[in-house]
A and B are shown apart, each in its own frame.
Chain A
C-alpha cells in the first residue's frame, strides 16, 4: 500500500516537474537559455524505478512535449535505481547530484544531455521548493527572476487548460 501511494506521488511529482520546466522559460531567462541549449529533437525518459512511474518528454525546439511512450529516436534515459531514492529526490530531500553521487542513477545516452537536464531540474526545484529546503540540497541557490507563486499559478492554469 505504502509503495502504491509512493508511486502515485511520484507520478504526480514528475508531471509537476515537467510542467515547471515548460513554464520556467517564460519567467526565467536562465531557464530559457538552458532550454535553447537542448539539442532539437532530443527526448528524455525519466524512470523512478522498476515498474514505477516514468516520464517521457521530447524537446521539439520550442517546447518540452510529454509523450505517451518511449521515443525511438535520440533518447537519453535516466533510471533511478530504487523507488525509495526517487521518493527522496522528488520530495526535495536530495539533489540529482547527490543521487548520482550515491550511485542511485543509471544513464543510457550522452552525459552532456543529462547535465543539461540536471541544470533545468535544479532550477525548477528552486522555484518549486521553499529556500530552506533547496539550501540543504543544492550547493548554491540561483537568484530567482520571478516569484514561485507566479510559476505555481501558471502551472495551475496549464493543468486546467490541458497544456501539458
Chain B
C-alpha cells in the first residue's frame, strides 16, 4: 500500500564493477580534492588491502596526506574526535575510508565533525537536525558486503561512557561516492562473508517491513533479498568467484539504500544494545536475532513478509505455497539459510554461541527500548518482550 507521504534520498554515486578502484583519482578530481586522509583498520593494513589503492592514488598524483589505521572494531566517539583533529592538523581536504562498517561509520562521524565545524560529535546528535555544512569530499570503499554503510544517511558510533551505540541520522552523513570493487571482498573469510551477508539480509527484511517503508525502499530491499538468496551461500562456498562477490557487494549496497530511506527495526534496536553492553559482533547478532524478531512481528507484518517469499525461493515455489503460509515460510527460509551457513562456516545460531550472558539481558532490554530503530518496528515492544526475545534467542 502506498504510504500517504514518504521521502527518498540517495545522493551517493556508486562505482560498481571490475577495477572500480582505478576510478577513485578521477572522482577526487571531480570533487576538487587532492589531499585525502585515508582511514582504515589495522587488520586490513596488515593484510595489505590498502596497497593497490595507494599505488593507484600515488600514480595519479593524489596520495593520502596522512592515514589513520587504528580504527577499532566498535569505534567510539573519542576516536572520531581524535581523527578529526588529525585531519585538521595535516590540512587534508578530503576523506577516503577503506574498511567494513566500523571504519565507514567512523569516517562518517569524522565527516560530520568536519563539515559541522565542531570539535565534538556529540553536539550533533539528533534526527534530521543538521544543516548542510562545509562540503568535505568523501569516498568510501567497503571491504565487507553487509553493512551497506557506504550508502546510508546514518552513522552508528559507540558512546563509551554510556555503553550504548548512538545513531547520527542525517542525509549529509552519506559519502559522495561508494566504490564496489570485487577485489576488495575476495579475501574476506567464509565466516565473515556469511555474517556480513546475513546483516545485509536483515537490513533488507527490516527495511521492507518497518513503518517507514515506501515503494522506492521496497524496490531496493527486494532486489537485495533476491541477490542475497542467490549469491550468499555460493560466495561462502567459493570466495574466489568475483561474480558472487560483486553481487553480494551490490546486495549490501541496495539493502543499505533501502534501510537508509525506511529505517530498520527491533533486530537492530536489540542488536545495538547487545553490541554496546555485551560487545558482541553486530553482524552475528543480527543473524541470530532476525528469525526471532520476525516471529514476534508476524501478527503485524505477515503481509510484508509473505511478499518476500518469491525473492527468497523463486516465483514457482512461492506460487505453490498457500498465501497464509508464505510469511511463516519466509521465516523458515531465513532459518534455513542461517543453518546452512552454520554448517558451512560455523555462523552462530544462538546467542550462547557468542558468549552472551543471560544476566546482562535486563540491561540490554532497557537500552534497546530507548533505541531509535524501535520507533518504526511494525509491533511495539516493551522491555519485558525484548527480554523474552533474548531468552528465546539464547
Tell me whether A98 and B128 are in contact in the complex, defined as CB-CB below 8 angstroms, given that A115-B372, A139-B300 are known contacts: no
Tell me the chain B residues, 214-245 only, with Cβ under 8 Å from chain A.
none
Please tell me if A97 contacts chain B, counting CB pairs below 8 Å: yes
Please tell me if A110 contacts chain B, counting CB pairs below 8 Å: yes
Report yes or no: B370 in contact with A116, Cβ–Cβ below 8 A. yes
**Looking at chain B's contact residues, is the secondary structure mostly helix, strand, loop, or mixed?**
loop
Tell me the chain B residues, 351-394 only, with Cβ under 8 Å from chain A.
366, 369-372, 374-376, 378-380
Report yes or no: A111 in contact with B372, Cβ–Cβ below 8 A. yes
Residues of chain B contacted by A109 (CB below 8 angstroms): 125-126
Cβ 8 A contact of B128, one of A97, A107, A116, A118:
A107
Report yes or no: B212 in contact with A112, Cβ–Cβ below 8 A. no
Give the interface size class of chain A.
20 to 34
Report yes or no: A97 in contact with B375, Cβ–Cβ below 8 A. yes
Report yes or no: B375 in contact with A100, Cβ–Cβ below 8 A. yes
Report yes or no: B6 in contact with A105, Cβ–Cβ below 8 A. no
Q: 0/1 per residue, B164-184, Cβ < 8 Å to A?
A: 101101000000000000000
Please tell me if A36 contacts chain B, counting CB pairs below 8 Å: no
Residues of chain B contacted by A100 (CB below 8 angstroms): 127, 212, 375-376
> Closest B-chain residue to A109, C-beta based?
B126
Chain B nearest CB: distance from A155 CB in Å?
25
Please tell me if A102 contacts chain B, counting CB pairs below 8 Å: yes
CA of A79 to CA of B125 in the docked complex: distance in angstroms? 14
Instruction: Give the residue among A105, A112, A119, A138 with the most B Cβ atoms within 10 A.
Output: A112
Q: 0/1 per residue, B6-27, Cβ < 8 Å to A?
A: 1100000000000000000000
Cβ 8 A contact of A98, one of B211, B263, B366, B374:
B211
Residues of chain A contacted by B5 (CB below 8 angstroms): 102-103
Q: 0/1 per residue, A112-125, Cβ < 8 Å to B?
A: 10111011001000
Please tell me if A106 contacts chain B, counting CB pairs below 8 Å: yes
> Closest A-chain residue to B372, C-beta based?
A111
Residues of chain B contacted by A115 (CB below 8 angstroms): 369-372, 374-375
Tell me whether A108 and B129 are in contact in the complex, defined as CB-CB below 8 angstroms, given that A101-B211, A101-B212, A140-B380 are known contacts: yes
Please tell me if B4 contacts chain A, counting CB pairs below 8 Å: yes
Cβ 8 A contact of B127, one of A96, A97, A105:
A105
Report yes or no: B378 in contact with A139, Cβ–Cβ below 8 A. yes
Q: 0/1 per residue, B116-131, Cβ < 8 Å to A?
A: 0000000001111100
Report yes or no: B127 in contact with A107, Cβ–Cβ below 8 A. yes
Question: What is A's interface to B at a CB cutoff of 8 Å?
Answer: 37, 77, 79, 96-98, 100-103, 105-112, 114-116, 118-119, 122, 138-140
Extra contacts, 10 of them, besides A100-B212, A111-B126, A115-B371 (Cβ < 8 A), are A96-B375, A100-B376, A103-B5, A105-B128, A107-B129, A108-B126, A111-B127, A112-B372, A118-B375, A119-B369
